[in-house]
Chain A
Amino acid sequence: MIKLENLTKVYNDKNVVDNLSLILQAGVITGFLGPNGAGKSTTMKMIISLVHPTNGQVSIDGQAYHTLEEPIKKVGTLIDPSALDKNLTAYQHLNIIATAAGIDESQIDKMLEKTGLNPVKDNKVKTFSLGMKQRLGVATALINNPEVVILDEPFNGLDVDGIRWLRTTFRQLADEGKAVIVSSHLMSEIQAIADRVVIIGQGKLLADMTIDEMNERSMSSYILVNSNNNKQLKVELEADNGQVQLNKDGLHVRNLASKEIGQIAFESKIILSTLSEVNPSLEDVFTEVTNGKVEFTSEGGIIDETID
């Protein structure tokens, strides 16, 4: 379990991470989302002691990362796939990591096989595409079979096959009881894999919830209702504390469950033709939650889907 307590990082009088408190659980894939400069990468770097917190602390099973006996057995990380010596081959890179960490060399071949890099293991990293570097970065993160996996933008540059492979890998890792923390600008990917979503903006925690909770709580979530008398139904639902908007496609009802709406309609002798739950996309929720918390926006909206 990773525990972030009042984590704060100040650079040049600016709070990049502001009093962030979180608990990242084992067996769960946590999607880490935030607009440009939200502090996602800085938070990840603080977890592995690459960046020193100005205030607050991070603990991994009760210990600071830099005090762990075998840190990469506990936490595997991918911060920047290009952050390695480009004159090494994939095999040499993993061999150096394995040697430094005292890992059995048989793990190198396993990782190369697992990440699909075996055919190019003797090619220099400088000849690799971004997707191949991502695979090598993932291999580096997983080489010591860590309990926690932290990956910053692992989907960048991956082809369809790579994305599918990564999704399956993350699910397997979570099923094995590992904590998987993934940041991505591809919100559809986070939606497809995450059990839980953490959204930060301007360094502050904006949301921390499961995908189900998100669907329930979000204003983007509503029940679409159509009937033979929408105006009358609106009055009846509002009388029962429902929040109702009359739109072109029908009534958007919040604060009431489908069952309750059906009951109210039945009692009011109104015939329903549509009664369906509309759940928001992660993008809707993200836009909703980060409203006003985005540092760099264009006139037409948030640049680059608001994410870094």
Chain B
Amino acid sequence: MRQLIKADFKKTMYIPSYRYILIATVILSLVFGAIFLLTVEVTEGLKLSSLSSMLVIDVSFLGMDVTAIMMIIFVSLFISKEISTGAIYTNLAITPNRLKFYISKLIFLLILSVLITILVVLGLFGFDSLVMSVKQMGNLEVFNQEVLLKIIGSFLMVIFYTMISAIGTFLIQSMAGGAVISLGLMFLPGLIRMFPEFVGNTILPILPESAINSFMDITKQSSNLFLALILLISWLVVVFIISYSRFRKTDY
């Protein structure tokens, strides 16, 4: 398994388009985080210099949404390309145990998404500190429970959408399929909110967004983070079972 993960890291480093997407993921996340923070007066009607340290982090961390979206694109491309080019012939010949093959891809992508998220979080903290220092807003407080939950939420969001994108791509066997499933899950709550309230109240709590928001949304943090975590894991497990049972039977 470790060898397969190492091989996937090598592949990511060797192929320029993969490298560029990952670099763009970090840069775009930081740029959007910065834009959200610097335009907060226009978008939220709040004066930047009046924001608390927590709110500065809250606004700039909107850049993490970009990380999640870019990772969805990267992951669905990474897996679908292996299938569409036929490289999967060789890879399955090396690892004919399909569960091992599948799990090794998920672990590789999990590690990669964690690494990318660490880079973006550090970058955003750096930028937030810079802004607060320039605007003489005091020091950035990063060592409190709210910030910790915000960070955990950011990691969970990127990891969840990365995993769901990988599982979806294995399920549909195409880049479009993987991206549509994960982006669909990401944007479905917005669509549901257009329906009468009772529809939203019924469906929204079982969608992953509500669980992620339990960590991310510091204005209305849920008291039961454990349940939120269980909900996210349940989503992954259910979709994984459907996806793997199809992948196991697929002829290449």
Contact = CB atoms under 8 A, between A and B. Distances in A.
Interface in B67-90: 81-82, 85-90
A48 B97 CA distance: 11
A100 B4 contact: yes
B252 A45 contact: yes
Chief secondary structure at chain B's binding surface:
helix
Interface in A98-144: 99-102, 140
A100 B91 contact: yes
A265 interface: no
B10 A45 contact: no
A68 B95 CA distance: 9
B197 interface: no
A117 to B, nearest CB: 16
Given A79-B89, A99-B10, A87 B16 contact: yes
Contact of A86 (B3, B6, B7, B85): B85
B96 A66 contact: yes
A32 interface: no
Contact of B85 (A49, A84, A101): A84
Contacts of B93: 48, 50, 71-72, 75, 77, 79
Interface string B136-177: 000000000000000000000000000000000000000000
Contacts, number: 88
Interface residues of A, number: 33
A61 to B, nearest CB: 15
B252 to A, nearest CB: 5
B94 A72 contact: yes
B92 A50 contact: yes
Question: Interface size for chain B: under 10, 10 to 19, 20 to 34, or 35 or more residues?
Answer: 20 to 34
Contact of B251 (A51, A83, A88): A51
A140 B90 CA distance: 8
A243 interface: no
A77 B93 CA distance: 8
Contact of A99 (B6, B87, B98): B6
Top 7 closest pairs, chain A to chain B, by CB:
A83-B86, A100-B7, A66-B96, A99-B7, A51-B251, A49-B96, A92-B14
Given A84-B90, A85-B15, A100-B3, 19 more contacts: A45-B251, A66-B96, A66-B97, A66-B98, A71-B93, A71-B95, A71-B96, A77-B89, A79-B89, A84-B86, A85-B82, A87-B14, A96-B10, A97-B7, A99-B3, A99-B6, A100-B4, A100-B94, A100-B95
